[in-house]
Amino acid sequence: MSLLTDTPSRQMLCASNDMATVLEEVQFKVVEGPCITAAESGEQVHLTDWGTAARRWPLFSAAFRERYPDAQAVHAFPLWFGDYILGSVDVVSRTPGGLSVEAIEEAAEAADAAANALLPAQRMLLEEGEFPPWEPADVVRAHWADTHRAIGVVAVKEEMNADAALALMRARAFSTGRTLAEITADVLRA
């Protein structure tokens, strides 16, 4: 589950397992994939054909399939709050063809419930400056606070704006095969 802000930054909120974490990390790093498309369009996205996916999201498809070649489908659902999209939820499946029609309907209902559940967390983050206890905590914290601090460090050091600094960090992560969270940790240790 990820929050999509009005900036180039996306915030991973939680992941249920290692595969889900990699799914979000890859999309965060390459800035493309079903999750981002669902959040940008407000429509559900159902990736069930990796050949089509490779043409639509070439960096995402290559990077994710390299780690999880047994993944058969990814379903992404926008997180709506009224007329505003908060982000999106991804569901990855190892079943050929992905989720059934009934499961897709249930997942869409769950995404709506998740959007409503995020509202108290929004207040925690924006008004109280606290981090909700989401998992995996280290990755979520890296996306919420550490990445933004690292962007500032890179922007000052390289004399560039925040968007360019984030792009530089993402490029470094992609070229080295590391996650953006790992690049962030390196920047903050330096």
pLDDT in tens, 14-24: 788 999 989 98
Calculated CA dihedral for residues 159, 162, 164, 168, nearest 10 degrees: 90
Give pLDDT, residue 94.
95
Give pLDDT, residue 107.
94
List, for residues 68-111, the tens digit of each pLDDT value.
999 999 999 998 877 778 889 999 999 999 999 999 999 999 99
Give the separation between CA 29 and CA 151, rounded to whole angstroms. 14
Q: Are strands 2-4 and 45-47 parallel, antiparallel or unpaired?
A: unpaired
Give the separation between CA 149 and CA 184, rounded to whole angstroms. 8
Give pLDDT, residue 108.
95
CA count, 13 A, side-chain hemisphere, 185 = 9
- What contacts 29, CB < 8 A, 6 or more positions away? 63, 170, 173, 174, 179, 180
Threshold 0.85, pTM exceeds = no
Give pLDDT, residue 6.
53
Give pLDDT, residue 2.
79
- Positions in the chain short of pLDDT 50: none
What are the helix (H) ranges across the chain? 18-30, 34-41, 50-56, 58-67, 101-123, 137-141, 147-158, 162-176, 180-189
Q: What are phi and psi of 72, to 5 degrees?
A: -105, -30
CA count, 13 A, side-chain hemisphere, 132 = 18
